Amino acid sequence: MSNLGNKAIMAKNIQYYMDLNKKSRNDICKALGVKYTTFTDWVKGNSYPRIDKIELMANYFGIEKSDLVEDRKKLPDGAFPYIPSQTTQIPLIGSINCGVPLFAESNIEEYIETPIEDMTHGDTYFWLRAMGDSMINVGIHKGDLLLIRQQNDVNSGDIAVVCVDNESATLKKVIKKDNAIILQPENSAYEPQIYVGKEIEHINIQGRLMQARKNF
């Protein structure tokens, strides 16, 4: 039986080249001008793309159309199969306003494919884009993507998204002392922020930093 027109094989091959090139569904939809729902149907094997769309994807990945159409089960000598991680879509929130719900639709820029193995089942996650240079000593630079686990408390020494007095959220290392909390930047050009006694009540922790993705 011919593999041409096999939706399952097409779906598997599209996902393979997405993982290989570290591309999300949003990346490809924007580049090719394809609707997100249409592309999702291809990836899930619900529908089969037209030949012109197959050619667009092949050109995008720098491969032959046959690489998307044909079964890739047979591997060259010495090669081993690549098994991609299962992923889910996590929202990228460009900025956080403490006075509005964190996941308000207006705050979500896009969704990022995120490996399920990087997250704990049952917890809520979101991505942020790093701004400024206050955390450069721990390798976080402007434009990096930050995976945050939503929680209202962290351990001393954790890096967290923190909001103070309903102002813009900031990313800092949280240091807990007796009756005091220090928001510690990782850049000597910035002074730590120290809150003592009742001042601690003004601190609202939004979540803990779990992962950073570099942008080059």
Please answer whether residues 87 and 114 qualify as being in contact, where contact means their C-beta atoms are separated by less than 8 angstroms: yes
Catalytic option among 7, 73, 95, 172: 172
| 176 included as an active-site residue | no
List 7, 66, 74, 134, catalytic entry: 134
- Mark whether 134 is an active-site residue: yes
Q: Which DSSP string corresponds to the chain?
A: ---TT-HHHHHHHHHHHHHHTT--HHHHHHHHT--HHHHHHHHTTSS---HHHHHHHHHHHTS-HHHHHS---S--TT-----PPPEEEEEEES---TTS-TT-GGGEEEEEEEEGGGS-TT--EEEEE--SSTTGGGT--TT-EEEEEE-S---TT-EEEEEETT---EEEEEEEETTEEEEE-SSTTS--EEEEGGGGGGEEEEEEEEEEE---
Give the catalytic positions in this structure: 134, 172
